[in-house]
Amino acid sequence: MSISVVNIKDKLSKIDELHKYKRIARMNEVDFKLVRMKREFIWHKHPETDEVFMFIDGSLQIHLRNKTLHLEKGEMVVISKGVEHKPASQSECKILLIEPAKTVNTGHAGGEMTDSDVEWI
């Protein structure tokens, strides 16, 4: 196995499209995925796992059933397993997601926003 440095800024420069998750690293069956986002997502949850959102650039709201989280560049949040949430961004933001390798972006909800083809960059 080759060990190398992952430059997040360089990886983000290779992502031309919005809403396509790109895997940049894996550790112990946990994926590190980048995504450029500008949309209101769907309500969903991940019954089997927690999910980490780290904000590289921009701002994002994560709606929970009882409150809304406002996250800015350099901040992160852990969404606990089983908690319904709905990310939304009015302007483009760049996010690093950390979650188990088999986690589907739409969780239990499925639907047309599901990105099941996560490629390595």
**Order of all β-strands in the sheet with 59-64:** 68-72, 59-64, 85-88
Q: Is 32 part of a structural domain of the chain?
A: no
Q: Which residues form the domain of 88?
A: 39-103
- For residue 1, name the pLDDT band (cuts at 50, 70, 90): low
Structure confidence at residue 94 (pLDDT): 97
On whether residue 63 sits in a domain, the answer given is yes
92-111 average pLDDT score:
92
Q: What is the pLDDT of residues 7-18, one digit of tens each?
A: 999 999 999 999
3-state secondary structure the chain: CCCCCCCHHHHHHCCCCCCCCEEEEEECCEEEEEEEECCECCCECCCCCCEEEEEEECEEEEEECCCEEEEECCCEEEECCCCCEEEECCCCEEEEEEEECCCCCCCCCCCCCCCCCCEEC
CATH code of residue 45:
2.60.120.10
| Overall number of domains in the chain | 1
Q: Is 11 among the domain residues?
A: no
Percent of the chain exceeding pLDDT 70 equals: 99
Assess if residue 1 is contained within a domain.
no
Instruction: Report pTM.
Output: 0.92
The single residue listed with the structure tokens 């302007």 is: 91
* CA–CA distance, 77 with 25 (Å, rounded to integer): 19
